[in-house]
Each structure stands twice: as C-alpha cells, then as structure tokens.
Amino acid sequence: MQFDGLKRREFITLLGGAVASWPLVAQAERKDAIRQLAVLLAGREDDSDLQARLAGLRSGLERLGWFEGRNIRITYRFAEGRPDRFQSLAKELVALHPELIVAQTPPVVAAMRRETSAIPIVFVDVADPFGPGFIASLARPGGNMTGLVTIEASIAGKWLAMLKEIAPDLARVVLLGNPKTTSFDYFQRSAEALAPSLAIELLPSLDFHGPELA
C-alpha cells in the first residue's frame, strides 16, 4: 500500500509525540544519555515504501530535537516477510531495553506484546486494534500500547452506501476477504449494521486468502 503524505504526517506526529513525551526531568538528569528507540517492521529492508516511512520518522524526530546518533539511537529489525521471525526479533529488541518500541502490522504487534507489558509500544498498519485486544478503546487505550488505526470500521458501511448510490437497484452484496483475520469481522459487523437500512442483503462472505502480511 502506498504510504501517502497524510499517513506519513500522521506517522511522524504520533511517533514524534511519543518520543517528545519522554520525561523532561529524566532528560535533564541524563543530558549526555542517548535515548533508545526500537523499530520492528514486517517487511524487507530494501522495501522503498518502508524506507520512505523511516525517513519520514527520522525527519519528524529531528524537527522535535531528536537526532539519530546524537541524542537518540534507533535499532531497526526487518522480518523480511517471514512470520516465523516475528517472535524472535521481538524478544531480541526487548532484550535491548529500549524506552519506546514501534511495531508494524498486527502479527508483529502481537509478538511484541507477548514480550513486554511495560515498554511503551506504538503500532502502525493495524486496521482493527480491538479484536486482538491491543487497546480497550480509542479514547482510553489502556496498557502500554497506542497507535494508528489505518481504516475506521464505519468505512465498510460507507462502501455499501456508495454502491447503492451508483446502482440504486442493488439488492445483494458479498464481502471478499480473509475471515480468519480479526479485521474482517471488524468490517463485516459495520456492513451488517447498515445493510438493512439500504435494503441490501449481505451474502455469505467469500474466503479469500490474500498475502499474510497484507
């Protein structure tokens, strides 16, 4: 998925805000200390989209006064698209005792959560943070996690409304997705809630197994 300018700004704002919130007192007490940030990404290091995100992150941090190699050290790990590496890389990063962790995609976030309930974790590329139990609510996430919701659940109902506007006689719709993911239920519930008001019947969903990391 192309990481457009808006999402990049949101990513920078979120991460920059998290880093900026490190206690000022601690900063004053450790003027010469380098703060530790860990980043675990599901994809490959040579992925141009991921590199664009990381460049945006570094740029945003610099605007807040955090410079890599000067007062902050960022440790990166790339899972190279291999789910079997998520847990071991999460364990490796937690063992470094970073003060903040960035985790990308639900499986990576889940792996990181199994390793620590104390270190703050900022998640990205997560559509449904509720199903896996990452947060309790948008207003009060709870625990040690916060992050970006890539697509709000109500978008599924808006998709149906848009289809109905395009084709007023539309009566039946089938959802295409991977029902094994929690995010599928997240969007399906939204579509089911609005469908009757649009006189649309939702047919049984098609089981489509896309890429595991999509």
Q: Which domain holds residue 172?
A: 155-207
3-state secondary structure of 141: coil
Q: Given a cut of 60, is residue 44 above it in pLDDT?
A: yes
Cα–Cα distance measured from residue 162 to residue 63, given in angstroms and rounded to the nearest whole number = 40
Which pLDDT score, from 0 to 100, does residue 206 have? 59
- Examine the domain organization and report whether 95 and 193 are in the same domain: no
- Interval 150-169 mean pLDDT: 82
Is residue 214 situated within a structural domain?
Answer: no
Number of domains composing the chain: 2
- Examine the domain organization and report whether 144 and 76 are in the same domain: yes
Query: What are 64-113's pLDDT values in tens digits?
Result: 899 998 999 999 999 999 999 999 999 999 999 999 999 998 899 999 99
Which pLDDT score, from 0 to 100, does residue 92 have? 97
Cα–Cα distance measured from residue 95 to residue 116, given in angstroms and rounded to the nearest whole number = 10
- Interval 3-20 mean pLDDT: 52
Q: Given a cut of 50, is residue 180 above it in pLDDT?
A: yes
Cα–Cα distance measured from residue 124 to residue 54, given in angstroms and rounded to the nearest whole number = 12
Is residue 52 situated within a structural domain?
Answer: yes
